[in-house]
Amino acid sequence: MTLILSVFQAVLIAGFAPAVSWFIKKMKAVSQNRVGPRFFQVYFDLIKLFRKGMVISGTASWVFHAAPYVFFGGTIAAALMLPVIWKGALCGFMGDAILFVYLLALGRFFLVLAALDTGTAFGGMGSSREMFLSSLAEPALLLSFFSIGFHTKTLSLTGMMSVLAADSPHRVIFFVSLAFGAVLILAIAESGRIPVDNPATHLELTMVHEAMVLEYSGRYLALLEWGHQIKQLLFLTLLANLFFPWGIPDTFNAVPIVLSLLLYAGKIAVAAWVIGWIEIHFAKLRLFRVPDFLAVAFVLALLSFLGQLMVGRGA
């Protein structure tokens, strides 16, 4: 039962991820008085890409071929560590939040190398910007995890969530709400959303993620796009399950699990709505303003930790 549920969680994350992208796209479309894509369009797009032939640059080497797999594999491995609708995860035992951060870094490492592999100016630009931004995002993410870990006395993601879920709501809100702000900013940065990156344009002044995957087509592009959507959902799940950990069962009865599934969908919808709202109402920041934005995340995480130091650990 545990196993089935854990595998289901992984499938859920992978299957649900395109829907979240659709939700944000649809929100934007509606706000601009457009009709927007149908729900199944995102899935059809992925299926179409998986079936299409590929054109690979003559300059590319094996790094270009390996990158989509490593990126997708690293993201999936990170996803397997995250509790979604119950208090366990398939591979939650194999590591902690630090491993989670570095598994995402592994995928990114290969993706930015692949961007350099084709020898185009676009690839180099996207690669350089992505590393620049993620270098600043990573310490903030680690610090957020440390801040939460300080309260929960564990760094494992499943453990953190269990402790927070058992806490009374006002204590959770009190101790880790500042870290929530930090992780929200990082979720925006890591999933390439406005105001850090603009997923909708192919303009060299603004793009980061799109510039890196410009040379990809067909199956590889599908893997990268899907992986990117999963990564976005991972961060939203972090937001939902670490900061609003209520209603997640640790028993295997059908009713709590189904309720928890609905609740999860609701929480993700709210988090996606927040991201979409920001995307609709803000313009993209200039590239050299983004470090300030990420610095806010760092400071929020630091304040969250500092607050706990001053007031008490709350154990």
Partner 1 sequence: MGKLVLAQFLFYVLGGLAGFLRRKNPEHSNRIACVSALAAGVSGMFYSAGILLSGKGIALSFRGGVPLCGAVFLEVDALSAFFIFLISFLSVPVSIFALGYNREYFGKKNVPLLGLFYNFFLLSMVLVTMARNIFVFLTAWEIMSLVSYFLVVTEHENPKARRAGLLYFVMTHAGTAFIAGAFWLLFSASGALAFDAFRAHAAMLSPGLKNVVFFCALVGFGTKAGMIPFHIWLPEAHPEAPSPISALMSGAMIKTAIYALLRFIFFFLGPVYFWWGAVLLGFGIFSVLVGILYALMEKDLKRLLAFSSIENIGIILLGIGMGVVLISSRQPIFALFAVAAALYHALNHAAFKGLLFLGAGSVLSGTHTRNIEELGGLIKKMPWTAACFLTGSAAISALPPLNGFVSEWMTLLALFSGVDCEGFGIRFFSVVLASLLGLAGALAATCFVKAFGIAFLGLPRSPRAECAREGSRSMKIGMITLALSCFGLGLAAPVIVPILGKLSGELTTEISGNIPLIHGSFLVFPGGWSQISLPWVFGVMAVSLSVIAAAMTVFAGRVSVKTGPSWDCGMRGLTPRMQYSGTGYSKPIRRIFSFLYQPSRKVEVEDEGYSVLRTAKHFESGIRPLFEETIYRPMAKFALYFSEKAKRIQTGHIQIYLGYIFVTLLALLLFTRVSS
Q: Among residue numbers 159 through 178, which ones bind partner 1 (CB under 8 A)? A: none
Interface pick for partner 1 out of 5, 8, 41, 132 (rule CB under 8 A):
132
Burial of 205 (0-12, 13-18, 19+ CB in 10 A): exposed
Interface pick for partner 1 out of 22, 72, 175, 244 (rule CB under 8 A):
72
Interface pick for partner 1 out of 31, 88, 128, 280 (rule CB under 8 A):
128
CA 118 to chain centre: 27
List CB contacts of 175: < 8 A, sequence separation 6 or more: 151, 304, 307, 308, 314
Q: How far is the CB of 283 from partner 1 (least distance, A)?
A: 20
Toward partner 1, which CB reaches closer, 56 or 265? 56
Based on the shown chain and the rule CB under 8 A, indicate whether residue 211 belongs to the binding site for partner 1.
no
Based on the shown chain and the rule CB under 8 A, indicate whether residue 27 belongs to the binding site for partner 1.
no
Based on the shown chain and the rule CB under 8 A, indicate whether residue 210 belongs to the binding site for partner 1.
no
Interface pick for partner 1 out of 210, 215, 225, 279 (rule CB under 8 A):
215
Based on the shown chain and the rule CB under 8 A, indicate whether residue 71 belongs to the binding site for partner 1.
no
List CB contacts of 1: < 8 A, sequence separation 6 or more: 252
Based on the shown chain and the rule CB under 8 A, indicate whether residue 192 belongs to the binding site for partner 1.
no
DSSP state of 289: G
Spatial separation of the C-alpha atoms in residues 295 and 18, rounded to whole Å: 30
Interface pick for partner 1 out of 19, 27, 125, 179 (rule CB under 8 A):
125
Interface pick for partner 1 out of 19, 82, 84, 103 (rule CB under 8 A):
103
Q: Is the dihedral of CA 214, 220, 222, 228 positive or negative?
A: negative
Please report, in angstroms and rounded to a whole number, the separation of the first and last CA atoms in the chain: 32
Interface pick for partner 1 out of 6, 21, 127, 232 (rule CB under 8 A):
127
Q: How far is the CB of 230 from partner 1 (least distance, A)?
A: 12
List CB contacts of 148: < 8 A, sequence separation 6 or more: 160, 164, 176, 179, 242, 304
Toward partner 1, which CB reaches closer, 26 or 231? 231
Count, residues near partner 1 per rule CB under 8 A: 84
Toward partner 1, which CB reaches closer, 156 or 241? 156
Toward partner 1, which CB reaches closer, 51 or 281? 51
Interface pick for partner 1 out of 17, 186, 214, 248 (rule CB under 8 A):
214
Spatial separation of the C-alpha atoms in residues 7 and 22, rounded to whole Å: 24
Based on the shown chain and the rule CB under 8 A, indicate whether residue 29 belongs to the binding site for partner 1.
no
> 137-152: string of b/e by CB count within 10 Å (b at 16+)?
bbebbbbbbbbbbbbb
Based on the shown chain and the rule CB under 8 A, indicate whether residue 73 belongs to the binding site for partner 1.
yes
Identify the residue whose tokens are 């909708």: 200
List CB contacts of 182: < 8 A, sequence separation 6 or more: 140, 141, 143, 144, 297, 298, 300, 301, 304
Spatial separation of the C-alpha atoms in residues 221 and 100, rounded to whole Å: 24
Interface pick for partner 1 out of 6, 21, 156, 191 (rule CB under 8 A):
156
Q: How far is the CB of 280 from partner 1 (least distance, A)?
A: 27
Q: Site residues for partner 1, window 288-307 (CB under 8 A)?
A: 288, 291, 298, 301-302, 305-306
Toward partner 1, which CB reaches closer, 242 or 272? 242
